[in-house]
Amino acid sequence: MATRIRQWRAGVAGLAVLGLALTACGGAKVGDESSGSDSSGDSGKCGTFNLAVNPWVGYEANAAVVAYVAENDLGCKVTKKDLKEEIAWQGFGTGEVDAVIENWGHDDLKKKYITDQKTAVEAGATGNEGLIGWYVPPWLAKEHPDITDWNNLDKYADEFKTSESGGKGQLLDGDPSFVTNDEALVKNLKLDFKVVYAGSETALIQAFRDAEKNKKWVIGYFYEPQWFMAEVPLVKVKLPEYKAGCDADAEKVACDYPVYKLDKIVSTKFAESGSPAYDLVKNFTWTNDDQNTVAKYIAVDKMTPEAAAKKWVEANRAKVDAWIK
Amino acid sequence: MTVAVEKPEQPQKPEQPRKTDSAPPAVAPAARVRRIGRGTVVAAILIAWLVLFAVLRGKQTLTLAAADLTDLHRWINDLNDSIGANRNSNPLFLYFFNEIRLVIDTLVTFVQELISQPSADRPLPQIGWLGVVGIAGYVSWAVGNWRVALLAVAGFTFFGLQGLWQESMDTLALTVSAVFVALLFAIPLGVWAGLSTRFNRVVTPFLDFMQTMPTFVYLAPLTLFFLIGGASATIATVIYAAPPAIRITAHAIRSVPETTVEAADSLGATRWQALLKVLLPMSKRTVVMGVNQSIMAALAMVTIAALIDAPGLGHTVLQALQSLDVGTAFNAGLAIVVMAIVLDRVTTAAAARQETGRLSNGRFAGLRRPLLAAGGVVTAVLVYMSHTYVWAAEFPGEGGVGSSVAKAADTTTTWVQDSLSGLTNAFRDALTNGLLNPFQSLLTDSPWWLVAAVLIGIGTVVGGWRAGVTAAVCVGLLLGTGLWSDSMTTLASTLVATVLVMLLGMAVGVWMGRSALADRVLRPTLDAAQVMPPFVYLVPFLALFGATRFTAIVAAIVYAAPVAIKIIADGVRAVPAATVEAATSAGCNTWQIITKVQLPMSRSALTLATNQGLIYVLSMVVVGGLVGAGALGYDVVAGFSQGQLYGKGLAAGLAIVLLGVMFDRITQAAARRVSA
């Protein structure tokens, strides 16, 4: 009995194997044709290019375009690494990160890694101008035009009260990695507001989206370039004008944020490697509009970063050629 | 998403009660008097607190602004910097950390090239989808049964249909490597802890620490020691996944009946023989449960590890979150849930087989061997084909299921947001103003020494003098972290969340305990709520409740309530049917049965549920920091993002651990008293 069952089982197994083998006969074999990836022949001169991708869509837009050009025009093998700023900079020293392609200020990191450890060097501006400040949703700016001047903010403090702000108006701040002087600003401008930390960019965007949709009173920290501006064009509130040095003492800041020239940082090793990818990073510049376009493709139109980059590069061939000439 | 505490230590563990409750359970009336006494004392403490609060409000509150640092924080920063600066010359790095990294990196790369990443000269991994599905089905069947094998095949195919095949395999590769490494350490350590009470006592605080320390805190240092990428991600996962396996192995060894061990001794078995031939085989089933818990913990780390460039589903979740794409995040989260459910059911079935396998009769065993062989051959063929042919290597199709899942999730979220947000805002404001704010100001605006005294006092009264001493030590260390005020803010929301968890736990738990149908329907939902990465539901919650402390509380409830519900349901079901029948025949109505019989009789389950609920809530503090809860959670996130706040973040992590240890010890001691 047992032997018969065994034979039967073996027979079934054999048939199954045969059947599967037969169906497989016509299939293409792995490695037959290079499926999309470029041939290993011309990646020799560029090699691997390790590009850090910091977690916001604008950065991702930069990275997508640079990676696309590096791969398709220079034949590099691009490895994107998703990292927060602090950790990305750490990677310069260990050779795991070659470039950070949109840096917002971060003087502390520059001091630590460029001046002290000498593992990184600057690679010039991206052409983007970073604006930081206080923003209100468009409906609010329209209904109360005077709200865009900080002098009038106290008048509306009551409207901005929330369950979190302890009886004062709420000024919503975002992700802890953002540059912010807001607590000092509120104190030194003697505003009847309290800074409440939303804790993430996601929370901030959701708050503004909700505010515009449901006509809620929200004022908070925000910045450009940002894809969300394409969806809800927030209005910047005027703070006392920025003058060089007015933010020297973090405790006594009472002026607006400076305009940040966003720049690129690369590892010292990469800068000296002679890789064409380094020249690309060094030459890469574009405008806020360019970035917002690509960021919108990614965030709003839900294209993959590669597809978004392709679309933009094909429409702006002249700019791209200038980077790799 | 941090602590995935394993089956909590049983309240009636043999050695503990003997020590804490040296007084024998007194005759009923005496015990009753004592319990009332305890309640009165607690009430007295609370009243004294309120009175003093009214007088001393706002004095000596030890607040620290968001950007301010203490000397401790600066010292940690300097330490961190000097490690970073010297990592290429320090022999400790060259010969120790780098070696560890190399070994783990090799392992991870090997597994990845096997199933997820293109290997050296191939555009595709060595084993394609057909092979992986085949192996998953075959292994599940071999270690479990055909039902879980079917589930495994369906689950794995679903990843492909979702359009997430490669991401899922990356996650699987990372999970497999991490669990493998974790078990390599955990099982020997667990056996040791099971054999030696002293070692167990030494290792327990470390395990607590590993499980309660928010992952965000050690991610940055890990990349400092082990660089960015697979190795660091694996090690981060190992740190978190090993403790449950250690605890459960120890528990398994300890619960082998003493008579069996004595029998082996009397037959002249040496210690090694007793271990290998008696203890280990007899505890196999429980050890497999430890493997199960390790896997679950590893999966809980998937999204967090993505922050240091671990590939896989977590990466998809995080990226979708950047553009607030709830649908895509949900799709990837669903894949994590499916993977967790498949792996959970397979390992559970494997544990059950350990028990029944030996008992099955000869005819069955005779049949099994040729079947296994035949299955092995089929699997080998599948693997070969997936290695060779493109159609079997790359999952065919566009992942249409995934985009419909995403679309459905999007539509649902939008609908919920639009139609409920008025209601939810009102609810939030009522709860925040009515309960959270007063309670928080009581904790944060009282002088620190007053709150400290109250905490130690309540700890002593509820948990006994040992718990009191623990509370005192924890309070002292909390002061040392320099984050007293933030700790109190966090404490306030944590306690409010726990109260809500318990209310929900009692309502649903009793329902599930009384109705088998409700249990069967609700359990998978509870499983899913526990495994779904919190990052996925943050966006809808933000829409419903705004960036507030309350959002953090709701997120914590979603994560913590399932545990409490399950424990309470089990407790209610354990009440003997005869007792319930007796009460029914005595004319009690349903409400009376619940309140007078079932709940009082499952009191130890209730305290246990409180303990677990609290710890789970606490593990969500960091997630809360991302959605406006501020305080310790924000400090931890900030420390991860900004170099100069690194030390403060670490201190905040410590403060969370201290809060966790303090509550765990107090509630456990209280639970033992209740059950004694």
Buried b (16+ CB within 10 A) or exposed e, A259-277: ebebbbbbbbebbebebbb
A56, A197, A206 member nearest B539 (Cβ) = A206
CB count, 10 Å around CB of A222? Answer: 25
Q: What is the mean pLDDT of residues B272-298?
A: 81
CB count, 10 Å around CB of A309? Answer: 26
Distance separating alpha carbons of residues B43 and B471, to the nearest angstrom: 19
Give the residue on B whose Cα is nearest the Cα of A51.
B309
Task: Give A 167-186 residues with CB within 8 A of chain B.
Answer: 172, 175-177, 183
Q: With contact defined as beta carbons under 8 Å apart, do A249 and A184 qualify?
A: no
Asked if the model's pLDDT at residue B217 lies above 80, the reply is: yes
Distance separating alpha carbons of residues B66 and B489, to the nearest angstrom: 13
Distance separating alpha carbons of residues B613 and B5, to the nearest angstrom: 10
Asked if the model's pLDDT at residue B348 lies above 90, the reply is: no
- H/E/C letters for each residue in B309-376? CCCCHHHHHHHHHHCCCHHHHHHHHHHHHHHHHHHHHHHHHHHHHHHHHHHCCHHHHHHHHHHHHHHH
Helices (H), B196-325: 197-212, 215-226, 230-254, 258-266, 271-273, 280-282, 284-300, 302-305, 313-322
- Report the candidate in B606, B601, B604, B605 with the shortest Cα–Cα distance to residue B579: B601
Q: Which residues of B touch A267 (CB under 8 A)?
A: none
Identical fold, A48-129+260-324 and A131-259: yes
Backbone angles phi, psi at B128, to 5 degrees: -85, -170
Give the residue on B whose Cα is nearest the Cα of A118.
B85
- Report the candidate in B232, B213, B209 with the shortest Cα–Cα distance to residue B307: B232
Q: With contact defined as beta carbons under 8 Å apart, do A173 and A197 qualify?
A: yes
Nearest 10 degrees: Cα torsion A20, A21, A26, A28: 90
Q: What is the mean pLDDT of residues A19-44?
A: 51
In the structure, what pLDDT confidence band is assigned to residue B64 with cuts at 50, 70 and 90? low
Q: Assign residue B268 a region: left if phi > 0, alpha if psi is -120 to 50, beta otherwise?
A: left
pLDDT for position A219: 93
Where exactly are the structural domains of chain A? 48-129+260-324, 131-259
In the structure, what pLDDT confidence band is assigned to residue A90 with cuts at 50, 70 and 90? confident
Q: Assign residue A63 a region: left if phi > 0, alpha if psi is -120 to 50, beta otherwise?
A: alpha
Asked if the model's pLDDT at residue B359 lies above 60, the reply is: no
CB distance from A261 to chain B under 8 Å?
no
Contact A85 B641 (CB under 8 A): yes
Please provide the average confidence, as pLDDT, over all residues in chain B.
82
Asked if the model's pLDDT at residue B23 lies above 60, the reply is: no
In the structure, what pLDDT confidence band is assigned to residue B136 with cuts at 50, 70 and 90? very high
Q: What is the mean pLDDT of residues A162-183?
A: 82
Tokens 């493709």, residue located = A297
Mean pLDDT check: name the lowest of A197-206, B27-36, B416-425, B634-643.
B27-36
Highest mean pLDDT, choosing among A59-73, B93-107, B200-214, B301-315: A59-73
Q: What is the mean pLDDT of residues A229-236?
A: 88
Of residues A43 and B64, more confidence is placed in B64
Give the residue on A whose Cα is nearest the Cα of B221.
A87
pLDDT for position A220: 92
pLDDT for position A100: 93
A9, A32, A116 member nearest B374 (Cβ) = A9
Mean pLDDT check: name the lowest of A23-37, A206-220, A221-235, B500-514.
A23-37
SS3 B308: strand
Q: What is the mean pLDDT of residues A211-234?
A: 88
Q: What is the mean pLDDT of residues B510-536?
A: 87
Among A163, A182, A204, most B C-beta atoms within 10 A, so best to mutate, is A163
Task: Give A 176-235 residues with CB within 8 A of chain B.
Answer: 176-177, 183, 195-207, 209-210, 214, 227
Residues A100-132 pLDDT 10s:
999 987 888 888 888 888 889 998 898 888 888
pLDDT for position A139: 92
- H/E/C letters for each residue in chain A? CHHHHHHHHHHHHHHHHHHHHHHHCCCCECCCCCCCCCCHHHHHCCCEEEEEECCCHHHHHHHHHHHHHHHHCCCCEEEEEEECHHHHHHHHHHCCCCEEEEECCCHHHHHHHHHHCCCEEEEEEEEEEEEEEEEECHHHHHHCHHHHEHHHHHHHHHHHECCCCCCCEEEEECCCCCCCCHHHHHHHCCCCEEEEECCCHHHHHHHHHHHHHCCCCCEEEEEECCCHHHHCCCEEEECCCCCCCCCCCHHHCCCCCCCEEEEEEEEHHHHHCCCHHHHHHHHCCCCHHHHHHHHHHHHCCCCCHHHHHHHHHHHCHHHHHHHHC
In the structure, what pLDDT confidence band is assigned to residue B262 with cuts at 50, 70 and 90? confident
Give the residue on A whose Cα is nearest the Cα of B373.
A10
How many DSSP H helices and E strands does chain B contain? 35, 0
In chain B, what are the domains?
A: 409-675 (1.10.3720.10)
Q: What is the mean pLDDT of residues B602-630?
A: 83
Peptide bond into A225 cis (omega under 30): yes
Q: Which residues of A touch B363 (CB under 8 A)?
A: 2
Asked if the model's pLDDT at residue A274 lies above 70, the reply is: yes
pLDDT for position B12: 38
% of chain A at pLDDT higher than 90: 20
Distance separating alpha carbons of residues A211 and A205, to the nearest angstrom: 10
Alpha carbon of residue A325 to chain centroid: 26
pLDDT for position B137: 92
**A48-129+260-324 belongs to which homologous superfamily?**
Periplasmic binding protein-like II (3.40.190.10)
pLDDT for position B173: 92
Query: In the numeric block, which tokens belong to residue B87?
Result: 């990592």
Task: Report the predicted TM-score, pTM, of the whole model to 2 decimal places.
Answer: 0.83
Q: What is the mean pLDDT of residues A198-217?
A: 87
pLDDT for position B358: 53
* Residue type (1 letter), B649: G
Q: With contact defined as beta carbons under 8 Å apart, do B615 and B194 qualify?
A: no
Residues B422-448 pLDDT 10s:
788 888 888 888 888 888 888 888 888
In the structure, what pLDDT confidence band is assigned to residue A45 with cuts at 50, 70 and 90? confident
In the structure, what pLDDT confidence band is assigned to residue B1 with cuts at 50, 70 and 90? very low
CB distance from A83 to chain B under 8 Å?
yes
pLDDT for position A36: 41
Tokens 């978004």, residue located = A308
* DSSP codes, B84-124: HHHTTT-HHIIIIIHHHHHHHHHHHHHHHHHHTS--TT-SS
CB distance from A164 to chain B under 8 Å?
yes
Around B648, how many Cα atoms within 13 Å sit in the side-chain half-sphere? 26
Q: What is the mean pLDDT of residues B170-189?
A: 91
- This complex has an ipTM of 0.78
Question: Is the Cα dihedral A296, A300, A303, A306 positive or negative?
Answer: positive
Asked if the model's pLDDT at residue B10 lies above 50, the reply is: no
Q: Which residues of B touch A24 (CB under 8 A)?
A: 385, 388-389, 391-392
* Residue type (1 letter), B10: Q
Distance separating alpha carbons of residues A259 and A237, to the nearest angstrom: 15
Among A43, A164, A168, A268, most B C-beta atoms within 10 A, so best to mutate, is A164
Highest mean pLDDT, choosing among A35-44, B252-261, B308-317: B308-317
CA angle centred on B39, ends B34 and B43, rounded to 5°? 145
Q: What is the mean pLDDT of residues B63-79?
A: 74
Residues A290-324 pLDDT 10s:
998 899 898 888 888 999 999 999 999 988 888 88
pLDDT for position B65: 65
- Fold classification of A131-259 is D-Maltodextrin-Binding Protein; domain 2 (3.40.190)
Give the residue on A whose Cα is nearest the Cα of B119.
A31
Mean pLDDT check: name the lowest of A72-86, A140-154, B48-62, B499-513.
B48-62
